[in-house]
Structure 1
Amino acid sequence: MMSSHDAEEDREQGCPLIEGELCENEETIQRLTEGFLSNYLSDLSTSKLALQELTQNQVILLDTLEQEVTKFRECNALIDLNALFTEAKVYHGKLVNIRKEMMLLHERTSRLKKRVLKLQQHKQKEDLEREQQREREMERERRLTAKPAKHT
């Protein structure tokens, strides 16, 4: 234990009292600090290593998660692709039906054109026959019309 005389000397040197004990010199403070650090430094080192390991595991997990997200995106892309193929089949069917209808309409219009042509030819023939009949009747009337006799 220190005497009161030693306590007075320490006060004069600028060391304050800490909970009733005198503050020791710098060497003592250094030793106390090293002792304190040696008690906790191994635990801190262990914690640091554990944190590094956790960080590495977290990076690995993030990479794995990113790969899984990529797989899901590819899967969704395949689903979208399948939907597009299904939609393409539907539209292909519609195009085939439209083509059939167009061919049917083309066939009908071709038949109608032929029929119109035949009707036009038939009408022209009838008109020609009517005209010829009229000319024959006019010729007949002309023949039947009295002609003045020629003076001989």
Structure 2
Amino acid sequence: MEGMENEGNSSHDPQLSEQTQAFVKGPEHLENVYVDKEAVYKLTEGLLSHYLPGLQNSKRTLQELTQNQLILLDTLDQEVTKFQECNALLDLNSLFTEAKVYHNKLVNIRKEMMLLHERTTKLKKRALKLQQHKQKEALEREQQREKELERERQLIAKPAKRT
């Protein structure tokens, strides 16, 4: 019994069996220990009845937490998808804005090209008129020169024919 007190057991029960005393004194006395199967069964039942409800409750709580986490993950995935769609819409809006800017640029370039086409057409007509006018003037000068040459030929004295 002194061994039990040395082992830290403060309860002093004189009815402890020798087997129990041997178990309490230390593992070196375990060789001669008799184990009552019914006592082991009852102790096991008591231990299970004491801890099992709490463990089962903890298990249910953990399962609920796991289920809630899965639901939360699904919700987060949906939110991420929504944000991605919003970003895609923003990208799409910026693409439409950019397309509108380029469309306006194309319209302006087309107007400019039409204006340039009109100007070049007018310049071609004017150049043709000028060319025709110059040709006419050149022709008139040539005709005038020929007239003057003919006139000079007529003015040149011709020797009279001897008869």
Question: Does TM, scored on the shorter chain, surpass 0.5?
Answer: yes
1:52-73 deviations in Å (ceiling 9; x for gaps): 1111111111111111111121
Indicate which of 88, 92, 110 corresponds to 2:121.
110
> Counterpart in 2 of 1:18?
24
**What code does the residue aligned with 1:76 have?**
N
Structure 1 unaligned regions, length at least 5: none
- Alpha-carbon distance between aligned partners in 2 of 1:59 and 1:135, rounded to the nearest angstrom: 111
* Pair 1:62 & 2:73 matched: yes
The correspondence of residues 75-94 of structure 1 with structure 2, limited to 5 A, is: 75-94=86-105
Task: Give the deviation of 1:117 after TM superposition.
Answer: 0.7
Report how many aligned residue pairs link the two structures: 144
Percent pairwise identity: 70
> Counterpart in 1 of 2:145?
134
1:9-42 deviations in Å (ceiling 9; x for gaps): x99xxxx633579755162445433422321111
Structure 2 unaligned regions, length at least 5: 1-14
- Alpha-carbon distance between aligned partners in 2 of 1:84 and 1:95, rounded to the nearest angstrom: 16
- Alpha-carbon distance between aligned partners in 1 of 2:154 and 2:36, rounded to the nearest angstrom: 163
Length-normalised TM-score, structure 2: 0.75
Runs of 4+ in 1 over 3 A off after TM superposition: 19-24, 28-31, 148-152
Length-normalised TM-score, structure 1: 0.79
